[in-house]
Amino acid sequence: MPEAGADVAHWILDGGAITAIILAIEAIGFLCALDSVMRARTPQGSIAWALALVFLPIVSVPLYMAFGQRRFDGKVLAHRRGRHALDRRVGEVTRATAALHSLDPALVSLAPLYRVPPTRGNDCELLIDGKATFDAIERAIDAAERCIAFQFYIIRDDRLGRRMAAALARARARGVRVMVLYDAIGSMHLAEGWCDRLRADGVEVRAFRTSRTALPININFRNHRKVVIVDGGVAFLGGLNVGDEYMGQSPAFGSWRDTHVRIAGPAALAVQLSFAEDWRWATGEELTSVDWAVPPERGDDHVAILPTGPADELESCSLMYLHLISRAQRRLWVASPYFVPDQATFAALQLAALRGVDVRVIMPLKPDNVLVRMSALTFIPEALAAGIKAYSHTVGFMHQKVMLSDDLACVGTANLDNRSLRINFEISALAHGGTLSKQVEAMFHSDFEGCHGIGARAWSGRSWIYRGACRAARLMAPIQ
């Protein structure tokens, strides 16, 4: 035994153990590189990951485990295990709303992507900026009788966060069931005291985590949805999170331009189904006790709800945007704070402009992410060459995610970047030709008046060093 111990010691001192570890890391890196080639989101991302994993595995392997996965397989498997319950609920809602299903061709053309078909009989109200949005949400919470689902990517324990918490506590005191769901990464700075106070009042508060282990895996996936559903009949969704900056009180930005939508009617059930799926992942509970009765018709809007995410069989968000762009014949107006489209999406925008469509894109002048702004600038020369009109929102920060394709309006949580198109859980509302479309059109006209056009000098007037840095930032987009 002493001789055996001495042999092991000599082996270690001779570097045998270190060599073995290095070879093991190299092998793992090579296997991860093969996985990236088979499953990466884009060819550029596949190449970038594969090279890094082969030539620098000691750094790249942990990063790949955290950020390199294409699909959120955990939620897929969890859904399969409970498929009978969730699919039965989807089927019940689909059958119950059958008499209200919309046959609008602009909405039905995306039918394979919907969980629930589009419905007519919805009353929609566009909510512009924080005050209008959270005033309307608070009124709905105060009118709740049975159930409230409150889900946001970011919740802060600040003035707005405490205001919303107080409204939710009031509802719970009336006997309303209140469920709060926040993203664990987006709300990583949420004070535990905010959650504890609500739990003490009887509110159910849970975090959406993409990993069910203590290891930091799958942390690249985020639940970016921002929805509120009241009594199964009124739903809110859009770009605003719960924080004072969304009320225009950011020291860095001041004014905050954002958009939400209120939907009253049968389409609210489709939003509730999206929440039910997220709640099931976070808690394991099937939401059978909440109100699933079909809400009465309340307006004239035909509305489709499209939740998208990395657990989808297809890249639903990307397909939705490609459809909205390719169908446009007269106009295609886009507002996105993070304009870093992939090659297919940008080519579709160029083709739309080349065939005579009025293509306009609004992005913020002052970014909250410098790399995103630098990446966006690289698209300007090719956009202008194709006839796309680019605008800068000059006052504060613009965070809305809105598109108008002819008379088909889309309001939701998804940006035109790789993260929203492929990595985040998102949700969008689409409405055609009714009240919401007219409201979105009027809003865009108002927004254009407050914007400055982006000309060729925005790119050509920069130093070659800055333009080189912008190109480097764009190369990083596929793996962001």
Phi–psi pair at 223, nearest 5 degrees? -95, 100
Q: Is 109 contained in some domain?
A: no
Q: Find out whether 64 and 53 touch, Cβ atoms under 8 Å.
A: yes
Q: Is 324 contained in some domain?
A: yes
Residues annotated as catalytic are 224, 226, 231, 399, 401, 406
Q: Considering 252, 268, 300, which residue would you say is the last residue of a domain?
A: 300
pLDDT confidence of residue 80:
47
CB atoms within 10 A of CB 296: 11
Cα(420)–Cα(443) distance, integer angstroms: 23
Q: Find out whether 406 and 329 touch, Cβ atoms under 8 Å.
A: yes
Query: What total number of domains does the chain contain?
Result: 3
63 and 78 inside one domain: no
Q: Is 110 contained in some domain?
A: no
pLDDT confidence of residue 444:
98
Q: Is 250 contained in some domain?
A: yes
Q: Is 10 exposed, middle or buried (0-12, 13-18, 19+ CB in 10 A)?
A: exposed
pLDDT confidence of residue 454:
94
287 and 406 inside one domain: no
282 and 244 inside one domain: yes
pLDDT confidence of residue 16:
64
pLDDT confidence of residue 373:
86
Cα(107)–Cα(116) distance, integer angstroms: 12
pLDDT confidence of residue 160:
98
pLDDT confidence of residue 344:
93
Helices 267-283 & 73-81 angle (0-180, nearest 10): 100
pLDDT confidence of residue 10:
59
Q: Considering 249, 271, 300, which residue would you say is the last residue of a domain?
A: 300
Q: Considering 300, 327, 361, which residue would you say is the last residue of a domain?
A: 300
Residues 6+ apart with CB under 8 A from 17: 11
86 and 135 inside one domain: yes
**Domain containing residue 470: CATH number:** 3.30.870.10
245 and 361 inside one domain: no
Q: Is 114 contained in some domain?
A: no
333 and 291 inside one domain: no
Q: In sequence order, what DSSP letters do the residues of 344-358 get, joined into one string? A: HHHHHHHHHHHTT-E
Q: What value does the CA radius of gyration of the chain take, rounded to a whole number of Å?
A: 24
pLDDT confidence of residue 146:
96
pLDDT confidence of residue 134:
98
Cα angle 408, 414, 420 (rounded to 5 degrees) comes to: 135
57 and 128 inside one domain: no
pLDDT confidence of residue 471:
86
Q: Is 213 contained in some domain?
A: yes
422 and 474 inside one domain: yes
pLDDT confidence of residue 57:
75
153 and 288 inside one domain: yes
217-473-317-411 Cα dihedral, nearest 10 degrees:
120
43 and 159 inside one domain: no
What's the distance, Cα to Cα, between the start and end of the chain in Å?
53
Q: Is 362 contained in some domain?
A: yes
Cross-strand bridge partners of residue 392? 363, 452
393 and 357 inside one domain: yes
292 and 355 inside one domain: no
3-state secondary structure at position 227: strand
> The whole model's pTM is what?
0.87
Over the chain (480 residues), the average pLDDT of each successive run of 10 is 58 63 77 72 67 73 67 54 68 90 93 93 97 98 97 98 98 98 95 96 94 61 96 97 95 92 97 95 87 91 96 92 97 96 95 98 89 90 96 94 98 94 95 95 96 90 89 70
Q: Is 179 contained in some domain?
A: yes
The parent domain of residue 363 ranges over 316-479
Q: What are 65's two structure tokens?
A: 């485990």
